[in-house]
Amino acid sequence: MAASNKLAWLGAVRREKRLSAAARVVASELGDTANCQGFGAWKSNEQLCEALGFTRRTVQMARSQIVELGYLIPVKHINGGRSKTIHYNLEMP
């Protein structure tokens, strides 16, 4: 995904009617952390809560919605675990 496609992705998630308003904001915040190719988007739930003023549960539900609709693809890391922040790749479903 090139830089222009990253911008298209950000626009698409902001207009996605199937996402809750909170999910659109969370998606935008996560998308901003991806590189220009759309890889490596990440922020912990705690960082998202602090940045956006949402509860942990709201962030968790929003993240699940975004993944379910195919806008974020979780990337599994060898060293990943319950206490590790998951990285995502941006995807246009």
Is 15's pLDDT higher than 60?
yes
For the chain, how many structural domains are there in total? 1
Of 24-28, 53-57, 83-87, minimum mean pLDDT range: 83-87
User: What pLDDT, in 10s, does the model give residues 81-92?
Assistant: 566 678 899 999
Which pLDDT score is estimated for 23? 98
Is 76's pLDDT higher than 90?
no
Decide: helix, strand or coil at residue 19: coil
Which pLDDT score is estimated for 24? 97
**Cα separation, 90 vs 70, whole angstroms:** 9
User: What pLDDT, in 10s, does the model give residues 42-52?
Assistant: 999 999 999 99
Contact 40, 34 (CB under 8 A): yes
**Cα separation, 93 vs 54, whole angstroms:** 26
For residues 10-32, average pLDDT: 96
Residue ranges making up the domain that contains 33: 3-90
